[in-house]
Structure 1
Amino acid sequence: MLKSLWRPPYLLSGEEDKEKRASWLELFYDLIFVAAIAEVAHYLHEHLTVSGFFSYVLMFVPIWWSWVGATFYATRFDTENIPHRLLTLLQMVAIAILAVNVHDGLGKNSVAFALSYVAVRSILIFQYLCAGHFIPVARRLTNWYAKGFGIAAAIWLISSFIPVPWRFPLWIIALIIDFSTPLTAGKLVAQIPPNFSHIPERLGLFTIIVLGEAVIAVVRGVAQLQWGIASAAVALLGMLIAFCLWWIYFDSVDGSPLRAMGTGKMGIALLWLYSHLPLAIGIAGTGVGVEHIIVSAKKSTILPGEERWFICISLIICLVSLAIIHLITCTLGTVKKRKILAAYRLGSAAFILIIAIAGSQLSPVMLMILLGIACSIQVVLDLFKTTQQSIQNQHNNI
């Protein structure tokens, strides 16, 4: 038994069409990201400004990309061995350090933040090199990833010797290289594609993590003060918005765009994958916004402008991301049907933008009612569309 657990990694070849479920190790690994998302959301809670939001995004992206890197490795290669478990433990420690340094992560802790991210990526690069060593057929792909990710990690390492604020442009350059590496590996990925059932499930689980942080933010906002009618109403409406986002995403989640990887067409597949990044950023931001509004509902009758703009922009990011995801998800129907779904999302996003611009005199409760309506109408329209489709199918079968 012990000897078998020490075996080298092997390729999960020919399994891209077989159902692969998240392993217990992957679910355990996700726990550290619960803490990481909580820390970056807490940073945003304390820096609810334009610069604070961009800082939040700059720190959120490495956290999300670390999770994506581990997920795509696990979908291709066997992970049920002792070396991988130990390396996963080291990754979790590095991500924990990353999360700890989110506080003032663009200030005095930025060096530690950068070095902890380098550690996370270095472990992944080592895993790819090991996989390529033991699996010759995967070597070209693993070497490509190791090279691209290695260049990005080296830039992050160099950035730790560069003073603030010149350090941060290097982070952005490194992230661009990171995100571009899979995009330029089309033919190599086509030879060894990811599992097409595993990736959507894993992204769904990460979305649940971020939605969970949004729910926690609502609870935390209420826990800060005594219950009042206004704050209770805002909290309930915040839960409604989180529920609607869950419904809109999970009622139509599907990884069909990923299948383009099987033919080497990385653009459409990565557009689908990368659209989940702003979605996660927007969901977590919405939770922070609701938390602020709960407190404001107790203190004043007019919502501060920065809080109104913040939650509106966060929701707009969510809806635009969902529009892109649904537009390119083939299993949702014909191009026309998918365009209609995307139009629903963009229409609500436009409505919310109008609220942000013209809602300077809105109370916290009234703003949340309008946002709740904008999200709820998406669910109603989806249900109406599904009912119409069901009736049409029954008519065609008669």
Structure 2
Amino acid sequence: MALENHPMWRLPKHHLDHDDAHDHVHWVELFYDLIHVVIIFLLGNFLSDHLTVNGFLAFAGLFIAVWFAWADSSVFNSLYVSTDVKHRLIMSCQIVTAMVMAASIPHVLDKGWMYFALAYAANRMITAYLYHRTNRLGVEATVLSRTVSRNFFILAIVFAISAFLPEPFNFLLFGLAIVSIQLLYMLPKVGVLECKRFLPRLGHMSERFALLLLIVVGEGFFKLVITLSEKGVYKVTPEVLFNFMFGGIAVFVHCWIYFDFVGNGKPKNQEKWTLVNWWLAHLFLMLSAVMVGVALAGEVKVGFWDPYPLKYGAIGCIGLASYLLCLLWIQFNIEERIAHRFATAKVRIFGVVLALATLLVLPYVPALVGNLLWGTALISQIAIPVTRAYLTFSKEE
């Protein structure tokens, strides 16, 4: 076998030029996702330690930045089938940058900022190099890879500069650069989405979204288990154990409603704004999932009869409402499924309204009542569609 025919030495190739490109995620990409288990956990810890408006805004900004770094790398791997030795070595360097970003998160608002910003800049520079490499090798004959490489290279320099600026200018410059990345994708005429070759493997990206969603939602399990283990499982009351198990079921149901109704779903068409909506809806869905995961740690901090911890309850109720709205947002932008007949907008809005109503009464009712209301908002999202589907299909039979 010639070297160029073996995956270890085959040059990157745009999937449209590939004879047998498939949508399955390569193990190198899965390994890159692995570090994001730690990043999401540390982001959740950051939010737990900063349950204020400013703390939430800082958490949201960090999450969005990390998510875009992950997503931009995923888009490259979706556009260009890359499995050769050099690509693997480059990805190993990108994994190291993500490790430094993760380690910086607990102290990112003070002495950790420089390390986070420089690691982020290096991460963006590596993505720029991945595109530059396809251009240099002649893999991409259009302006696509050259344009994206230039954009990321310039923004990597901006991110690096933000590492050395005083507050609040460091955060402002970093935030502007994050916004600029998305504008350079989406702006009419000059945005990369205008390029016909900028068409990732949609099935591949759907699978990447689904895998990251499992990581993000799974953070709720981390929070629950670690919080209980630190308290001592043998020390808590049966009420706390019940709340703990309820929290575990809630995490499971979050995954259930995602995978049954939108998981691995491809966009309904290849129009620019359909792709943009699909992309942004997944970003805010995962941000909401982390909020819920952090809120569930409150289950181990209270019994049945005391009010649920208000700060945890607030992010849990808002997070659930946002999660359901994002599910609906994705549902509108993907191919039609049979399940969509039963998971209608009315079902989602019912859950959203009940979640927000729970937030209003949370300080005045026992945690048992709060959990009942919040749990109804969540579990209705699977119970109503499944019941409707069973009755409908039974009659058709």
Q: TM-score under structure 1 normalisation?
A: 0.89
Query: Contact conserved, 2:267 with 2:334, CA < 8 A, in 1?
Result: no
**Match in the other structure for 2:380:** 377
Q: Pick from 198, 202, 208 the counterpart of residue 196 of structure 1.
A: 202
Structure 1 residues 363, 17: closer, same or farther in 2, change over 3 A?
farther
**Match in the other structure for 1:258:** 267
Deviation, 1:46, is: 1.5
One-letter amino acid of the structure 2 residue matched with residue 223 of structure 1: S
**Match in the other structure for 1:127:** 130
In the alignment, the residues of structure 2 paired with residue 124 and residue 389 of structure 1 have an alpha-carbon distance, to the nearest angstrom, of: 49
Query: Contact conserved, 2:98 with 2:120, CA < 8 A, in 1?
Result: yes
Deviates more, 1:216-225 or 1:77-86: 216-225
**Match in the other structure for 2:241:** 232
**Match in the other structure for 1:115:** 118
In the alignment, the residues of structure 2 paired with residue 297 and residue 63 of structure 1 have an alpha-carbon distance, to the nearest angstrom, of: 35
Query: Contact conserved, 1:47 with 1:53, CA < 8 A, in 2?
Result: yes
In the alignment, the residues of structure 2 paired with residue 364 and residue 138 of structure 1 have an alpha-carbon distance, to the nearest angstrom, of: 61
**Match in the other structure for 2:314:** 309
5+ residue gaps, structure 1, are: none
Query: Contact conserved, 2:223 with 2:297, CA < 8 A, in 1?
Result: yes
**Match in the other structure for 1:186:** 193
Deviation, 1:386, is: 2.9
**Match in the other structure for 2:219:** 213
Deviation, 1:150, is: 2.9
Percent identical among aligned pairs is 24
Deviation, 1:83, is: 0.7
**Match in the other structure for 2:284:** 278
One-letter amino acid of the structure 1 residue matched with residue 194 of structure 2: K
Query: Contact conserved, 1:327 with 1:342, CA < 8 A, in 2?
Result: no
**Match in the other structure for 2:389:** 386
Q: Pick from 359, 362, 369 the counterpart of residue 359 of structure 1.
A: 362
Deviation, 1:18, is: 6.1
Deviates more, 1:234-243 or 1:16-25: 16-25
Structure 1 residues 297, 153: closer, same or farther in 2, change over 3 A?
farther
One-letter amino acid of the structure 2 residue matched with residue 326 of structure 1: Q
Deviation, 1:291, is: 0.8
Structure 1 residues 35, 16: closer, same or farther in 2, change over 3 A?
farther
In the alignment, the residues of structure 2 paired with residue 143 and residue 131 of structure 1 have an alpha-carbon distance, to the nearest angstrom, of: 9
Count the aligned residue pairs: 387
Structure 1 residues 11, 312: closer, same or farther in 2, change over 3 A?
same
In the alignment, the residues of structure 2 paired with residue 374 and residue 390 of structure 1 have an alpha-carbon distance, to the nearest angstrom, of: 25
One-letter amino acid of the structure 2 residue matched with residue 241 of structure 1: A
Query: Alpha-carbon deviations, 1:276-329, whole Å to 9, x = none?
Result: 11111111221111113311339x812332222121112122112112111222
Query: Contact conserved, 2:247 with 2:299, CA < 8 A, in 1?
Result: no
Deviation, 1:134, is: 2.1
Deviation, 1:3, is: 5.0
**Match in the other structure for 1:94:** 97
One-letter amino acid of the structure 1 residue matched with residue 336 of structure 2: T
Deviation, 1:91, is: 0.4
Deviation, 1:333, is: 6.0
In the alignment, the residues of structure 1 paired with residue 20 and residue 382 of structure 2 have an alpha-carbon distance, to the nearest angstrom, of: 31
State the secondary structure of the residue aligned to 2:120.
helix
Deviation, 1:95, is: 0.3
Structure 1 residues 372, 107: closer, same or farther in 2, change over 3 A?
same
Query: Contact conserved, 2:132 with 2:145, CA < 8 A, in 1?
Result: yes
Deviation, 1:202, is: 0.9
In the alignment, the residues of structure 2 paired with residue 330 and residue 9 of structure 1 have an alpha-carbon distance, to the nearest angstrom, of: 30
Deviates more, 1:304-313 or 1:325-334: 325-334
One-letter amino acid of the structure 2 residue matched with residue 150 of structure 1: F
**Match in the other structure for 1:318:** 323
Query: Contact conserved, 2:9 with 2:84, CA < 8 A, in 1?
Result: yes
State the secondary structure of the residue aligned to 1:193.
coil
State the secondary structure of the residue aligned to 1:224.
helix
State the secondary structure of the residue aligned to 1:297.
coil
State the secondary structure of the residue aligned to 1:135.
coil
Structure 1 residues 285, 172: closer, same or farther in 2, change over 3 A?
same
Deviation, 1:12, is: 2.1
Q: TM-score under structure 2 normalisation?
A: 0.90
Residue 27 (1) aligns with residue 36 (2): no
